[in-house]
Amino acid sequence: MRKASPKSAPARAADPALKSLFEVHEATLPNGLQVRLLPNRQAPVVSLYTFFNVGSRNERPGITGISHLFEHMMFNGAKKYGPKMFDKTLEANGGSSNAYTSHDMTVYYDDFASDALETVLDLESDRMRSLRISQDMLTSEREVVKEERRVRTDNDIGGMMDEELGTLVYKAHAYRWPVIGWMADIDAISREDCQTYFRTYYAPNNAMLYIAGDIDPKKTLALVRRYYGDIPRGPAPLPVINAEPEQRGERRSTVRHPAQSPAVMIGYRGPAARDEDTLALDVAQYVLTKGEGSRLTRSLVYEQKLVVGVGLDWSWRIDPGTVLFFLELKPDSDPQKAEAALYAELEKLARDGITERELQKALNNLRSDHLRELGTNNGRAHAMGNYEALLGDWRHVLTLPSAYAAVTSEKVKAAAAKYLIPERRSVVTLLPAPSEA
């Protein structure tokens, strides 16, 4: 084990407030499992995260949603701890766990009392080594996931629109389908599909382990070696091809569904997480929608009174992602008017950039939010894993504030002029349809 030095990787200064918080110990096991340990004695609790480099971007038509369905299956029994025993053992030892699947990764976490550490390592390594996928558990879990799809998408207007938008923005890339998958595919995924998936993507060389909290790094690493050391390496997963063709003009689509008000969701094709432009777009996002005094909130909600709410979601992804705007309207709103008001603001941003004060304000808020995210063991472990999965190094946790500080008004203007333009735009409009009452 070597103790991490905050130099190497990103050639930027570490934030002094963070340096003292991140006494990270790192190691790589012979089977390729990467381990990061972060002691903190403030409370007698620990958070453990396991990141697997697999998400819906690794899927193909016919088995869309398998990453997520598989995530559910990871809780349904392995060789040592059979069906129901993972949660039962964990909770009876003072822990709780959950997981999520995104386009790019599948992430599992446990929060637990520090004296349950060894039990948790036993549970987690057991399912990484020897998951057992029973037909009965799959049959039942499939129904659970279908209910999840009904609640998030089929009976949720935002979910419906989001799904429609994905198919507009992406023509070839796997980001085209929703993480939860198409209903018919969820129905079709077989036990064999799951087994192949497990062998391909759940090997230790495709995983990263983060343990943060009330731990002794030396003893913990010895335990990790003991529990995970004998899990065999797997084949390197095939790389994902990004065959997305260039977009040659605005794309539009309409969703008709019983609703009180129209709504608009707009996606612009953005850069990949590792692209330098990503940081400029983060600053743009803060200027546009962070806080009541942000440009879009002030202009569209308070001054022009055209919308009830405006949201912007710019989520980093491994491959080029989407800068997503959402306009919540009033029952008698004209969606085109709201759209036009939004575009006028985006054009202004691309034409005039932002003021020095707006830039400083965005940087202050980016730093505050970053610090807040790092206020818990769970937040610290997750942040390290997330940056490592997306950017290739956990040290971005330390250097992100200074990376933002290098963003200038000019760069924000250039990013807006490059990405937030009609040629890169896809628009989904929800038009209220009469209910079939």
Partner 1 sequence: MASRKSRSPKSSPRRAAKKAPSRAKKPASTKSAPTSRPLVFPSLHESTTSSGLKVVAAERGPLPMVSMRLVIRAGSSTDPAGKHGIADFAARLLRRGTRRMTAEAIDEAVEFVGASLGVGVGEDTLSVAITTPAEHFAQMLEVMGQLVMEPTFPESEVADARERALAQFANDLDEPSVIADRAMVRALWGDHPYGHDVSGSTKTVSTFTRDDAVRYHQERLGPKVAMLVVVGAVDPMKVAQAAEKAFAGWAGGPDAPMVIPALARVVGAGRVVVVDKPDQTQSQVRLGGPGYRMGHEDYFPATAMNIALGGGFTSRLMNEVRVNRGLTYSIGCWFDAMNAAGIFALSTFTKTESTREIIDVSLGEITKVRDSGIKPGELRDAQTYMSGLYPLRTETNESIAHSIADMRLNGLGDDWVEKFRDRLRAVTPKQVSAVARKYCFAEAPAVVVLGKADAVKKQLRGLGPITVVPASEYE
Listed ranges 174-182, 221-229, 231-239, 338-346: which one lies at the site for partner 1 (CB under 8 A): 174-182
Question: Which 40-79 residues touch partner 1, going by CB under 8 A?
Answer: 42-45, 68, 71-72, 75
Please report whether residue 291 would count as binding partner 1 according to CB under 8 A: yes
Q: How many Å separate Cα 102 from the centre of its chain?
A: 5
Please report whether residue 266 would count as binding partner 1 according to CB under 8 A: no
Using CB under 8 A, which of 229, 293, 392, 422 touches partner 1?
Answer: 293
The one catalytic residue among 71, 124, 163, 164:
71
Please report whether residue 193 would count as binding partner 1 according to CB under 8 A: no
Using CB under 8 A, which of 324, 350, 403, 427 touches partner 1?
Answer: 324
Q: Which of 309, 307, 306, 320 is nearest to 271 (CA)?
A: 320
- Give the pairing type, strands 45-52 and 95-101: unpaired
For residue 44, the SS3 value is coil
Using CB under 8 A, which of 23, 26, 313, 347 touches partner 1?
Answer: 313
Tell me the Cα Rg of the chain. 23
Angle at 383 between CA 382 and CA 389, to 5 degrees: 90
Q: Which of 199, 173, 338, 177 is nearest to 266 (CA)?
A: 338
Going by C-beta distance under 8 Å and a sequence separation of 6 or more, which residues neighbour residue 256? 430, 431, 432, 433
Contact 146/241 with Cβ under 8 angstroms?
Answer: no
Please report whether residue 402 would count as binding partner 1 according to CB under 8 A: no
Q: Residue 319 Cβ, how far from partner 1 at the closest point, in Å?
A: 16
Listed ranges 15-23, 203-211, 342-350, 387-395: which one lies at the site for partner 1 (CB under 8 A): 15-23
Q: Residue 12 Cβ, how far from partner 1 at the closest point, in Å?
A: 20
Total residues at interface with partner 1 (CB under 8 A)? 101
Using CB under 8 A, which of 28, 31, 93, 402 touches partner 1?
Answer: 93
Please report whether residue 173 would count as binding partner 1 according to CB under 8 A: no
Using CB under 8 A, which of 79, 252, 274, 305 touches partner 1?
Answer: 305
Q: Residue 147 Cβ, how far from partner 1 at the closest point, in Å?
A: 4
Q: Which of 168, 163, 134 is nearest to 150 (CA)?
A: 163
Listed ranges 221-229, 312-320, 344-352, 388-396: which one lies at the site for partner 1 (CB under 8 A): 312-320
Q: Residue 423 Cβ, how far from partner 1 at the closest point, in Å?
A: 23
Angle at 61 between CA 431 and CA 54, to 5 degrees: 100
71 is catalytic: yes
d(CA 178, CA 6): 37
Q: Residue 361 Cβ, how far from partner 1 at the closest point, in Å?
A: 5
Using CB under 8 A, which of 376, 386, 426, 429 touches partner 1?
Answer: 376
Contact 308/330 with Cβ under 8 angstroms?
Answer: yes
Q: Which of 1, 2, 3, 18 is nearest to 396 (CA)?
A: 18
Using CB under 8 A, which of 49, 52, 112, 387 touches partner 1?
Answer: 112
Checking phi first, is residue 13 left (phi over 0); if not, alpha (psi -120 to 50) or beta?
A: beta
Contact 72/141 with Cβ under 8 angstroms?
Answer: yes
d(CA 244, CA 255): 24
Beta bridge partners, 209, equal: 35, 50
Listed ranges 29-37, 122-130, 402-410, 429-437: which one lies at the site for partner 1 (CB under 8 A): 429-437
Listed ranges 194-202, 243-251, 374-382, 383-391: which one lies at the site for partner 1 (CB under 8 A): 374-382
Please report whether residue 365 would count as binding partner 1 according to CB under 8 A: yes
Question: Which 130-149 residues touch partner 1, going by CB under 8 A?
Answer: 139-148
- Supply the residues annotated as catalytic: 71
